[in-house]
Every structure is written in C-alpha cells, then in structure tokens.
Structure 1
Amino acid sequence: MAIPTYLLLGPRVAIRHVCREDFEERSALARDSAEMLQRWLGVREQTKEAFDNYLARLEQADHEGFVICLRSTDEIVGGANINNIVHGSFQNGCLGYTAYRSTAGHGYMTEGLRLVIQYAFDKLGLHRLEANIQPDNTSSLNLVKRLGFRREGYSTAFQFINGAWRDHERWAITAESRDTAEPAAN
C-alpha cells in the first residue's frame, strides 16, 4: 500500500478518506466485529460489489467517508461517515461511525471522531453535525457525550434495522459548542 495521505493527525490516530485499497482490511474487521455491530447496524454485506457501491456513494457531494488509523502502524481502527450533507443556510451533516471489536475500548474512536468533527467544521464548512443512536446503545451514547454532543430529541421508528423500525435518540454538536467537549485523554 502507498504511504497514506492523512487529512488530520491526532496524538495516536489520524484520519484519511476511504479508498479502494481498504476493502480487504475493512472487510476483515467487519467480519471479526459482526456480532458486536449487528445489533446496531444490521447485517452488512462484505462483498467487493457492496464496497464499490459504498465508494460510489462517497463520490457524491453530500457524503464523506473516513477511516481512523493508528499513526504508528497505519492499521485501521475505526470508520466514520458524514452523510446527507446540506450546505446553504443549513450547513448540516449526519455523523455515522463504526468501531471494531479488536480495537474497541482504547479511546481511538474518541480521538478519531474529534478529528472528523474538526474536519467537518473547518474543512467542509459545516455548522452542525447530528448523530442518531439507538437508546440502548450505551457505548455510542457515552461516546457522543464525550465529544460534546447534546441530546435534542427522540425519533420514533427512525431507521429500519434487522427487520424492524428502530427508535433513535437525536444528538447534535455545532461549531460553537464543540469547544465544550471533554479534552482527549492520552
């Protein structure tokens, strides 16, 4: 693999855009993490065709896709998307993210998502990011709280996952409020 071109660097992790060469590593991580993630994300195909469709979606102006990598090894430790980006007077995007079983619990997602948020506000010019999380996903709720997101509401039957419409809590952060987030623990 070529030397990665990172968009932003943190103390332990860095972010870069997803690329075609990430297929094998991301697929292996997703397969290894399937039991942990299925409850929240549903079953996801780990085929080359599904990955190509994902990359095609990221070519659209209203989507950005990132991998979070360890700086010391370039190993992928998480992923993030900013979906449904709207510019104009709204300047909003929806943040989605994935941790992996093998690297969960080390603070990599907190550090990496801080970089994604910085990129969203400083490089993409967004004013607001939303995250929609199932109410019993306490790990994800704790993560967005650490990042400075505030709970704004509850969306009934928000997303179709695992054969049913799932309720979600709606959380958001703005460019002004991000300064209230907890500092990164190193």
Structure 2
Amino acid sequence: MRAWNLLLGAVAVVMLMAGANWAMADLPVSSALSKDSRNAGISMRAYHRWGVDPGTLVVDLWGLPTSVSMADVDRALFTAAEALKDRKYGKVVLAWRGGARYVMDGDYFNTIGREYAYQNPVYAVRTMQEYLRTPDGSRAFGTWTGGMLGVLGKQMEDHQKFHRGWYAASAFSL
C-alpha cells in the first residue's frame, strides 16, 4: 500500500511539472506562433530544462518544412521571445530535437522579445550571433569591427553558420 502511494505521488509530481511547463512556456509560444500562418509547419517547443529548472528555457526545434527559410526560423524565434518577454530566465538554450546547440543569455532573449514589436529585425539577425555561446560555455561567434560593408558581410556569414549549427545541417543534410 505504501509503495502504491509513493508511485501515485511521483506520478502526480511529474504531471504537475509537465502542466507547469506547458502553461508557463510552451502554451504562450505555440499560441503566438499559431497566429501567423507563415509559421505553419515549424515545430518549435518551449520548456524548462529537464522540466524542473525555471531559470533555463529551452527553445527546441523539432521539425521544419523543406520550404522554410532562415528568416522564417528567425521570425519564429523572435516571436517566441516576444511571447515570453515578461518572464525572466538566466539562460535560453536553442536546441534541435532535444540536443542543445547554442546558449543565449536570458536578458538578451528578453531584450529581443521586448524590442520585437518595433526593432528592425535585420538588426537582431545581424547581431544575435555575438551573444551566443556553445553548450560548453565558449563563444560561438566573434564580434566584428571595421568598415560597415565588411562587418555586415561577416555578420551575415555568422548568421548562416548559426542556422546550419542549430538545425539546418541535421534537418536538411547540408
């Protein structure tokens, strides 16, 4: 009888954590994404790391249509940030099918979300890579200096590398 009560208690705790993840992370993101038909086919989930760490958000891509562009994925990520702009996270993990690919500071994620309604998204696209780290904590990309055209070119190269590293190399066998 005691083992049965422990099992029921454990199941209740797991269900409570799953419900909290769904309500606090995944529901706002999936609702926001569903409002724009251009996001059709983009399977993006949001949840707390391991289901129990509210200080770490995981933005996890699970599937993409073959017609998706980098701009579509950027828009989906920025929409997720906007949907969660009032929540505080220490860090945000960008994952592909459960595997961490990049880590972003939570404050920067909040900035993207707060500014998405009025900021030129091209600015975020160009500069976002400077704020990314690999899962081991090292910088994923550098910061560029010099002439405007040279810097812009390098930032856009980094942007393409970011997408290949996040999902494209796996999703489309690039």
TM-score, normalised to structure 2's length?
A: 0.38
Structure label with greater radius of gyration: 2
More RCO (CA 8 Å, sep 6+): 1
TM-score, normalised to structure 1's length?
A: 0.36
Choose between structure 1 and 2: higher helix proportion: 2
